[in-house]
Amino acid sequence: MVLGLVLFRTFQPCYLVYHPSHLFFLVARLENVDLLPLGANNVLVKMLAAPINPSDINMIQGTYAILPDLPAVGGNEGVAQVVEVGSQVKSLKTGDWVIPKDAGLGTWRTEAVLAENDVISLPNDIPLLSAATLGVNPCTALRMLSDFEDLKPGDSVIQNAANSGVGQAVIQIAAARGINSINVVRDRPEFTQLSDRLKAIGATHVIKEEALRRPEIKELFKICPKPKLALNGVGGKSATELLRHLQLGGSMVTYGGMAKQPVTVPVSALIFKDVKVRGFWVTQWKKDHSKDERAFRVMLDELCNLIKQGKLTAPACTEVGLQDYSKALDAAMQPFTSAKQILIM
C-alpha cells in the first residue's frame, strides 16, 4: 500500500489551511495513492524522509509561485532510495539515494515512480537528515554567497532570519570560506541559547533586530568589516535596516518574505551608496540550469563534501512519522519555530 499526503479542495473544515481567496479550504489528508507502472526510463523509489518547508506551507495557502493542480501529493524536497530501475535507466542503480531536481514531485508519500531525469543521486554515506534537507536551503545559501558578490576570506555578510534553514546554511558555508557572518534574529526569551547555538555552528556575530537601529552597531563595525552582501528572508523594516549597513556598492538579495511586508529601499541608499537590490529563487536557478546537470552536480558535490568534513550539518529537526503529519504541519506553522519538521516514511 502506497500512502501519500494529498492536498485537495473542500468547502467543509477538516485538517486545513484557509485559502486566501476565501472560496474554499485546502485540506491535507493521508490517502492511498496510485503507483504508476514502471517504464523503461523510470525508477521506483522508497521515500525515506521529507521536510516541511515554509514554501510548502505557502503552496498549501495558495501564495506560492508554483501551485499544483489539485488533488496533488504535497512536498517539494526529500530523499528517497531507488528500489527498482527501468530497462533504459543509465545514471541510477538500486540502492542509490536520490533527491528531486526541481519542485513539484510530491515527496510526502511512501513510494513513487519517477522519471530518471527528475532526480539526481547523492552519496548514501551522509546523514539522512542532511540528505533530506539538502536540495533547497543549502543550495539557496551557496548560490547567494557565490553569485552576487565576490566574497573573499575576511569579508562580511549580514543576514536576517539567521536561525532559519537557509540562515544556518549561510552561517556554515560562510565559516568554511573564512567569511564573517553578522546574524540578525528577532528578540525572544531564549535569545542567549539561540545565539550560543548559532555561534557553535560558525556564526561570527549574533544580534537582535533592534540592535541594527542603535548606535552600538557602529562598535561592531570597528571589529568586523561592513558587509558586501545582505541576505533578506524577512522583508519590511528588517530588510531596510540590512540595506543601511551595506558597504558602498554592496548587494541585498531577497529570497523570502516571512514578514509579508514589502521591501522599502531608501533613496539615499541607491544614490549615495549605489546598492544593488536583487532577488533569488532556487527553483528558478534549477530551471535555468536544467539542461546543464553538471552545474547542479558541482553544487551538490561541494555541499556533500562540506557535510563529510563536518562543516555543514542539517538544521535542528524534529522527526515525525507520516501518520502524525497533522502535528508536523501544526508545528511548522508556529511562530519562532526553531526546528524543521521532517516526515519519516
325 is catalytic: no
User: Rounded to whole angstroms, what are the CA distances from 227 to 172, 179, 269, 310?
Assistant: 17, 10, 14, 26
Q: DSSP letter at 299?
A: H
CA separation for the pair 128, 126 (Å, rounded): 6
> Which of 15, 18, 64, 325 is labelled catalytic?
64
User: Rounded to whole angstroms, what are the CA distances from 168 to 105, 133, 152, 250, 287?
Assistant: 25, 12, 20, 22, 25
86 in Cβ contact with 40 (< 8 Å): yes
Do you find a cis peptide bond into 123, omega within 30 degrees of 0?
no
DSSP string, 322-340: GGGHHHHHHHHTSTT--SE
Grid cell at residue 104: 513539484
Residue 321, C-beta contacts closer than 8 angstroms, at least 6 positions apart: 343, 344
Catalytic sites, residue numbers: 64
